[in-house]
Amino acid sequence: MLIIISMKLKYAFVFNVCLVSSTYAVPLDFNGDGVSELFGIENQTDGSPNEKVFHIHDLSTSATDDSNEFGKRTTLEVPADYDGDGVTDLAIVQQKEGEGETALTWRIKLSSAGGSDVTEVDFGTVEDRVLSGCDRDGDGRADLTVIRKKQIISQNYDSESSTTDQIGFKPKYAACGDYDGDAESVGDELIAVRKLKNSKPKIRVIKAGSLLQQRNAKKAQGVLAIDIDGDGIKEVGYYRHKGSNNSQIIVYDANGNKQKYLVSRIEEITVGAYDESSTIDGVFIKVNSNDSFRLHRNINSEAENINISDTEGLVAVNQLQKVGQTSSNESGCDVDREAPDGGGGFLWKPVSDSNGKVVVLTPGGEFHENLRIVKDEQVLETLDYVGNSDNSDSNGLRNHFRGDLPGGSYPNNITVITTLNGQNHCWLISDPGERVD
Ligand SMILES: [Ca+2]
Ligand SMILES: [Ca+2]
Ligand SMILES: [Ca+2]
Ligand SMILES: [Ca+2]
């Protein structure tokens, strides 16, 4: 009896190793058993250097490992298998430390190095959006990946040189996945949503700068790289809100037909391999507004309520985010600020000297991040951080942000919102065509 069990275990182990070397690692698989764990995050908000806590919930044992504190309020979680051993490595991205630094530092706890030492790599800048969980060169190791305006740039953590591909537009949402079945040799494709002024948004699948596929993505709120038929190749999917309590996941099957799945209203979502007995992907959802979590072990199965104590958000792969940006409560105000507030403070300049577009400066000595323009709780635009400078009366460095339009092009009564120490600071601009100083 004992012998049989040990043979089974040995066989399972060998099988796992084969999987790892020949196909893609399962996302968010922290113990390497081929099943995704549920990754939650808690923010202790205690100001400690590692105030965020990963809660890693193992579906087969129902045990939660909350021993990993890693990252602070403004860091992004980007766990993926960077060393290619089939085990997810905890990783975060943050702004490089030091005054005036605009680089991003990726901090990775490689499982192959024991999982506790931190490997640091500088890659990308704070103007870029980070995209986690992509293996662009197909070597089985997740790449550091950013989207910089209309380009996707990636490299392995231990590489000196990066690869840049053209996307052709600035994507609203994006994810990576294998859409044509050749990921092992060529690497992941990019799936990205293009928002158009006078027609429906489109999802495009782009391979090394060329368009493979395009689909409608009406009212898309995010994209999903999901395998709904279990053949190991991802289908093109997205989600949109449906009424006040539900969202709809829409996936184009291999014949181009739309498959629709009704789920609870999505605030955050990630795709994973949650069902041991199925090769069809499932989704883990943070439900909007009431901090509860639901799991569909595969996309066709009923939702299960999941309770992981103290978990506030979920950790997703394939999120497109800027460092310092919070995915929820983007449009609410924690601190109402005065405008005008006098020289050296906040400045809204509708027509900048350099390019005629709006430029916004935040008060001296306060390191504001992620400046966005909001109207009726909708983010109209997130401005690009372009650096900071001092002048004689500013009480320190003022961060500069640039927009795509002259100030007069925005509607009246907008709110400028920034993030400072995890709180939203708000300035009301009643007439965006006028200078506010
Ligand atoms: Ca696992
Ligand atoms: Ca690993
Ligand atoms: Ca790679
Ligand atoms: Ca498939």
What pLDDT is attached to residue 76?
92
Q: Where are the alpha helices (DSSP H) in 84-230?
A: 183-186
The ligand minimizing its distance to the Cα of 81 is: 2
Q: How many angstroms separate the alpha carbon of residue 95 from the centre of ligand 1?
A: 30
Tokens standing for residue 390: 């001092």
Q: What is the pTM of this model?
A: 0.72
Per-residue pLDDT tens digits for 339-352: 888 878 899 999 99
One-letter amino acid for residue 131 of the chain: L
Q: How many angstroms separate the alpha carbon of residue 374 from the centre of ligand 2?
A: 39
Q: How many angstroms separate the alpha carbon of residue 111 from the centre of ligand 1?
A: 13
Tokens standing for residue 225: 């790289």
Cβ neighbours of residue 71 closer than 8 Å, sequence gap 6 or more: 50, 51, 52, 77, 92, 94, 107
What pLDDT is attached to residue 47?
73
Q: How many angstroms separate the alpha carbon of residue 157 from the centre of ligand 3?
A: 8
Tokens standing for residue 15: 């099988």
Tokens standing for residue 113: 């190095």
| Short-list 423, 430, 434, CA closest to 366 | 423
Ion ligand 3: residues, CB < 5 A: 135, 137, 139, 141, 143, 156
Q: How many angstroms separate the alpha carbon of residue 106 from the centre of ligand 1?
A: 23
Q: How many angstroms separate the alpha carbon of residue 30 from the centre of ligand 3?
A: 19
The ligand minimizing its distance to the Cα of 82 is: 2
Sheet holding 222-226, edge to edge: 222-226, 235-242, 246-252, 258-264
CB neighbours (10 Å) of residue 230? 11
Per-residue pLDDT tens digits for 362-384: 998 888 988 999 987 777 888 98
Q: How many angstroms separate the alpha carbon of residue 433 from the centre of ligand 4?
A: 50
The ligand minimizing its distance to the Cα of 259 is: 4
Q: How many angstroms separate the alpha carbon of residue 162 from the centre of ligand 4?
A: 29
What is the per-residue DSSP string for 320-379?
Answer: EE-TT--SS-SS--SEE--SS--TTS-EEESS-TTTSS-EEEPPTT---EEEEEEETTEE
Tokens standing for residue 204: 């495009």
One-letter amino acid for residue 345 of the chain: G
The ligand minimizing its distance to the Cα of 229 is: 4
Q: How many angstroms separate the alpha carbon of residue 180 from the centre of ligand 4?
A: 9
Cβ neighbours of residue 61 closer than 8 Å, sequence gap 6 or more: none
One-letter amino acid for residue 320 of the chain: L
Query: How high is the mean pLDDT in each 10-residue block of the chain (437 residues)?
Result: 38 38 73 95 83 94 94 90 96 90 96 95 95 93 96 96 94 93 86 85 93 93 95 95 91 95 94 95 86 94 92 86 63 84 90 95 89 85 86 77 94 93 88 95
Give the C-alpha separation, 136 to 99, whole Å.
32
Residue 136 contacts residue 163 (beta carbons within 8 Å):
yes
Q: How many angstroms separate the alpha carbon of residue 428 from the centre of ligand 4?
A: 48
What pLDDT is attached to residue 55?
96
| Short-list 72, 34, 26, CA closest to 53 | 72
Q: How many angstroms separate the alpha carbon of residue 108 from the centre of ligand 2?
A: 10
Q: How many angstroms separate the alpha carbon of residue 131 from the centre of ligand 3?
A: 13
One-letter amino acid for residue 393 of the chain: D
Q: How many angstroms separate the alpha carbon of residue 60 from the centre of ligand 2?
A: 21
What pLDDT is attached to residue 382?
87
What pLDDT is attached to residue 2?
39
Host H or E run for residue 19: helix 2-22
Cβ neighbours of residue 156 closer than 8 Å, sequence gap 6 or more: 82, 137, 139, 141, 143, 144
One-letter amino acid for residue 162 of the chain: S
Tokens standing for residue 59: 């579906």
Q: How many angstroms separate the alpha carbon of residue 413 from the centre of ligand 3?
A: 46
Ion ligand 2: residues, CB < 5 A: 81, 83, 85, 87, 89, 111
